[in-house]
Structure 1
């Protein structure tokens, strides 16, 4: 089984990419295949609501989303991390979420995949739970199995993440729970 990690940060080598790499290392140690999407290395344009995908056609926007679609389809579990930008997810990850409507319209291709969320804010209580909710909403709309950290809603961290012991535990507990659910599904 495969777990896909998605960093929704436009910044290369930042806290979000670091936490996704750590989570994927945990999954790999539990013998899961891993893959990742770092939005910082991709061009994903916003959805234009043209409706072409309603008819089973590919999205007409020429960018990197085709490789994203394939990685989303291939995954059994998905963990998404976003920095908190003005109380929510980044515009870049929101574009990916909006464009993923093609997978919903063309057979609910993310249905029953296990998904978890991580959010990194500049301060404690800096909008992390609202950011998690946005990621969870995306997962619910796709019919995914939304997974928390056994206590709350997922990983809530404060930057720099290396100094946030409690936040790092919530992130680790979230990926462990995703792995547990996938183990149950084998």
Structure 2
């Protein structure tokens, strides 16, 4: 089974590190993490072409590769830093463009989990998770959160960049690992 991690950050920093922690809990699964900063993703123009032509976007950029990876995955873990209380603009553009995948319900019944990281405690992480949750629910995905010992809404961390390195709180790292364990658990249940 395939698990895709999506790093919604504009750089490869703490969000990527947390996704890597989650993926470590998925030993035996085919895992991949992509970083949106490696792709050009235009805004959705709401031209409705995808609704008329079976889910094909007429804007040609990096979105098509990401969409194929999402379609191939059995589970998707989406990570985002908090940008002014929510997900990044780049991740929002990906979510808007994924309208093409909703035309044929390509993401329906895939497992989805979320990870958010902010610079401060209570810095918008839960709202960021909710934005990811809303996207997953709109696609008909099976939404899971973290599990024991935390069992809240997903991975939530506080990170600081000090001397070019990221310092992530221990509890946040554990919640990211817990997300990976929960995704593994649910995928195993589905596989049975």
Structure 1 segment 19-168 matched on structure 2, within 5 A = 19-27=18-26, 29=27, 31-55=28-52, 56=54, 58-105=56-103, 107-150=104-147, 151-160=151-160, 162-168=167-173
How many angstroms apart in 2 are the aligned matches of 1:57 and 1:7?
24
TM-score (norm 2): 0.92
The DSSP-based 3-state class of the residue aligned with 1:79 is: strand
Partner of 2:179: 174
State the aligned residue count. 182
Task: Show structure 2 runs of 5+ residues with no match.
Answer: 161-165
Task: Show structure 1 runs of 5+ residues with no match.
Answer: none
Task: Name the one with the larger helix percent.
Answer: 1
How many angstroms apart in 2 are the aligned matches of 1:57 and 1:132?
27
The DSSP-based 3-state class of the residue aligned with 2:25 is: helix
Q: Deviations over 1:81-120 (max 9, x none)?
A: 0000000000000000000010101x10101111100000
Q: State the Cα distance separating 1:57 from its structure 2 match.
A: 5.1
Partner of 1:10: 10
After superposing the two structures, state which structure 1 stretch, 14-23 or 63-72, moved more: 14-23
TM-score (norm 1): 0.94
RMSD: 1.1
